Amino acid sequence: MNGNETTAAVAVKACGVERRFSHMRVLRGLDLELERGRTLSIFGSNGAGKTTFLNILAGLLRPDRGSVELFGETLPGSAELRRRIGVVGHEAFVYGDMSAYENLEYYSRLYKVEKTGRVEAILDEVGLRAAAKRPARTYSRGMLQRLALARAVLHEPELLLLDEPFTGLDPVGARLLSTLIGGLHEQGVTIILTVHDFERGLEVADDVVVLHRGRVGWRSAQELPDTAQMSEIYESTVGA
């Protein structure tokens, strides 16, 4: 494999990433590499730096030290690089006074989605077609999370960042979200998600990382552990 093939095969490459907020060092030299098409679950206690790392990948924060490359391009990247990324955050990023259809129509124009019928297709995919004309403020937490996922994948990103996507979902909603993430994985989308629930995180992942005090404390080998093993690994890594 030559150098170009290596670059093309790597979706995310973070080297020595440091980030502090006033006096608090949140990321302390984080190194991570992820191949294209893989799904990575990041576990870690509150304050371990999961969301900060995702925000850096999304281009919302700049690292104080170190570098991050996405698809071979160093951050902060171009507008074209931002088009290749989809983000689901703690909030849905939708306007309550607009319907799901209008929200997606707006984002499709923002991302210059030219495919005809893409909004309708994605509404079908996430099961919101019937409620598409209702204002988003009338949606339940589960429906909002599906709308958030629809918004994030509307422009068919190559890298999808999900920050605790299962939080607040009932078991049915969580299962549906797992299925949707699985479908995107099959389409070759590189996915990074932060998650607290080992079962959900392991269910969708190819790789697992435990972040501890701003660094990678543990990374899975080829075989993923089961939930019980993961719990032991987590406890020994974070010292809980």
Q: For binding to another protein (CB under 8 A), which residues are involved?
A: 58-62, 76, 79-80, 82-83, 85, 87, 89-98, 102, 106-107, 109-112, 136, 144, 151
User: For residues 9 and 110, which CB has a smaller minimum distance to another protein in the complex?
Assistant: 110
Least distance in Å: CB of 109 to another protein? 4
User: For residues 132 and 224, which CB has a smaller minimum distance to another protein in the complex?
Assistant: 132
User: For residues 97 and 223, which CB has a smaller minimum distance to another protein in the complex?
Assistant: 97
Pairing mode, if any, of strands 65-70 and 10-21?
A: antiparallel
Residue whose structure tokens are 């960042």: 161
Least distance in Å: CB of 218 to another protein? 29
Q: How far apart are CA 131 and CA 81, in angstroms?
A: 32
Distances, alpha carbon 238 to alpha carbons 34, 225, 230, in Å: 22, 17, 12
Pairing mode, if any, of strands 215-219 and 207-212?
A: antiparallel
Sheet order of strands, 215-219 included: 85-88, 159-163, 190-194, 39-44, 207-212, 215-219
User: For residues 58 and 205, which CB has a smaller minimum distance to another protein in the complex?
Assistant: 58
User: For residues 84 and 212, which CB has a smaller minimum distance to another protein in the complex?
Assistant: 84
Residue pair 209/32 in contact (Cβ under 8 Å)? The answer is: yes
Least distance in Å: CB of 67 to another protein? 16
Q: How far apart are CA 182 and CA 164, in angstroms?
A: 16
User: For residues 137 and 219, which CB has a smaller minimum distance to another protein in the complex?
Assistant: 137
Which of 89, 68, 60 has the alpha carbon at shortest distance from 14? 68
Least distance in Å: CB of 147 to another protein? 10
Least distance in Å: CB of 84 to another protein? 9
Least distance in Å: CB of 15 to another protein? 20
What does the block give as tokens for 166?
Answer: 């299962």
